[in-house]
Structure 1
Amino acid sequence: MLSDDLFDTDPQLLNRVVKGDEAAFRTLFHQYWDHIYTVAFTFTKSDTLSEELVQDIFLKIWIGREKLDGVASFSNYLFIVARNHILNQLRKKVYEVPFREQVLAYFAADDNPEQYVQNRQVGELVERGIALLSPQQQAVYRMSRQQGMNQDEIAAALGISVSTVKTHMSKALYALREFLKSHSGDAVGLIALLSHFL
């Protein structure tokens, strides 16, 4: 969370913003831009998207500037607005192929020890989720996602119908999604999990 101690935001500056003073708002914008950009980049790993999100966040602050009246800690207020906006946008963008590929490429990189640890943790978390599935669901999921088998091949290997394969896969994916959502505290990590493994 951002700290007011860093900036000691002047209440009078906020009051000017509330009253529609654009110069005061620009001062606020420049005061906090770097820090909100850092928060955005931590989640997105994208320079362009982070800059867009910062612009959107401050536009939202400006449009709803009357809400600043009486805010005790502007930095905390701004952080909450930024976090909520970033997460909402990520939930939408996870379904956009270019963005999903960009995030996955970041997690797939081999030259960063931190990313290596994240990748390993992702794999371990997925394995924990798979272990909670029924034996049949585990078999269908592993054949599909880890062995690259299609539904007809899975059905033949397990001696079940294609319809039953679809049912097991659907239930497995739902259970894994719920497990991962409840165990991933990092938005980007969650995106990588849902996109790569599901």
Structure 2
Amino acid sequence: MKSSDQGIETAELVKRVALGDEQAYRIIYDRYKTSIYSTILNLGDDEFLAEEVLQESFIRLWNYRDKLHDVEKFDAWIYRVAKNVFLTKIKSQSIPTEPLDLILHDIYHAPMSHDSTDFKELESVFEKAISHLSPKQRMTYQMIKLEGLSRKEVAQILNVSPETVKWNLDESVKKVRSYMLQALDKLPLVTVLYFLSKK
């Protein structure tokens, strides 16, 4: 976050987000991401789950931005959204990606074109992000996130414990997302989050 952004009142940023201001949305994301992640991590003790909840919470924020005019206390609202997402995922005992399609339906009326400039740029940066992972993290990420293998299957293939697979997956997901969010600061944040939800 730029030092000049720190002086902007949250209430002002929320008003701008409600009007579709993507820069204000990114500032709010940067302002709250660490505390929300930490809160969910403390609740669930699962880094991967905390990342998923953070991502989905901010997608919901953008999706329902036109309702922000009715929000009186944004801090309480965004934490409540995150906790509701967390509880939903805990109850389902899984971390599905399908609900994101429903959440984003009125943002994306059709799938992002694979021929679009944004998509090609996203794919290019995604491939670079993958290349920055360690060999074991890269293999784990590709087999689970891209090929659809289970953690148990990956553990057997790599001859490592399920705990090692979980650690490598959690670390690789964090690194890929961090790399892409930094590299794609000129693209709408919600577009990047949507792309990552499919990876």
**TM-score calculated relative to the size of structure 2:** 0.49
**TM-score calculated relative to the size of structure 1:** 0.49
Please identify the structure whose Cα radius of gyration is greater. 1
Task: Point out the structure with the larger helix share.
Answer: 1
